[in-house]
């Protein structure tokens, strides 16, 4: 017949510590098991961004190209004398008529063969968005620019001739000739400016607002 082993206070205290340690380990293991799925969800892939709605674009001329500004450089060159540089890099997006998703924060313009360029514009934040291009003639746009430059140069030349009249033998005739040359230059300048400014392309929305 087995005899009962007496339980001393030291043995009782040791047994209590072992039981408490095992209980803590079980609780920690349970917490780790519960936290694992939450951590897996937190480390998962981010939700997909909402798709950008397409923008519908039409034009009054064929071969109208919508371009996106990919890069812009502005600044002073360290030269003598210093020169200011402004360079834009444009990439084609589509040829109108087209319907494509466009970056709502981008800068765009109209171009293309035989089409006058438009000024840079940004997209209004409305959906659905339809743009209408009233494309100008590239020929008349370039002719206007060339006439404006020629008129400016002629007006400057006429001013120089008129200003030098007092030092000439026939001051009156020289002054009249200079004034005539400057007047012709100013007329060319005005004609070129009108043709240049009225032949550009204009982009509008459905409500007629120009961009």
Give 65's contacts (C-beta < 8 A, 6+ positions apart). 92, 93, 94, 95, 96, 110, 111, 112, 115
Alpha-carbon distance of 133 to 97, in angstroms, equals 10
pLDDT given for residue 11 in this prediction? 41
pLDDT given for residue 85 in this prediction? 77
Please answer whether residues 33 and 80 qualify as being in contact, where contact means their C-beta atoms are separated by less than 8 angstroms: no
Alpha-carbon distance of 57 to 96, in angstroms, equals 6
Alpha-carbon distance of 86 to 27, in angstroms, equals 67
Per-residue pLDDT reduced to its tens digit, 100-146: 999 988 999 999 888 999 999 999 988 889 999 999 999 999 999 99
Per-residue pLDDT reduced to its tens digit, 10-21: 544 554 554 455
Residue holding tokens 């004034």? 179
pLDDT given for residue 52 in this prediction? 76
Low-confidence ranges of the chain (pLDDT < 70): 1-51
What is the DSSP annotation of 72-140?
EEEEEE-SSS-EEEEEEEEEEEEESSEEEE--TT-EEEEE-TTBPPPPPEE--S-SSEEEEEEPPBHHH
pLDDT given for residue 141 in this prediction? 93
Domain map (residue ranges) of the chain: 54-136, 139-198
Please answer whether residues 119 and 112 qualify as being in contact, where contact means their C-beta atoms are separated by less than 8 angstroms: no
pLDDT given for residue 5 in this prediction? 47
pLDDT given for residue 79 in this prediction? 77
């Amino acid at each position: 017949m087995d005899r009962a082993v007496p339980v001393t206070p030291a043995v009782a205290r040791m047994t209590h510590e072992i039981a408490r340690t095992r209980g803590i380990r079980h609780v920690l293991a349970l917490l780790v098991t519960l936290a694992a799925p939450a951590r897996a969800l937190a480390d998962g892939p981010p939700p997909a961004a909402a798709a950008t709605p397409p923008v519908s674009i039409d034009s009054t001329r064929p071969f109208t190209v919508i371009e996106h500004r990919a890069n812009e450089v502005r600044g002073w060159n360290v030269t003598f004398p210093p020169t200011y540089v402004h360079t834009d890099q444009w990439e084609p997006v589509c040829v109108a008529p087209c319907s494509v998703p466009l970056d709502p924060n981008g800068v765009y313009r109209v171009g293309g063969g035989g089409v006058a360029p438009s000024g840079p514009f940004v997209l209004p934040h409305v959906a659905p968005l339809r743009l209408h291009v009233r494309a100008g003639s590239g020929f008349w746009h370039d002719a206007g620019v060339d006439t404006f430059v020629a008129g400016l140069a002629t007006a400057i030349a006429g001013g120089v001739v008129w200003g030098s009249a007092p030092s000439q033998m026939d001051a009156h005739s020289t002054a009249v000739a200079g004034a005539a040359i400057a007047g012709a230059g100013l007329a060319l300048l005005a004609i070129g400016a009108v043709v240049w400014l009225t032949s550009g392309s204009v982009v509008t929305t459905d409500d007629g607002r120009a961009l």
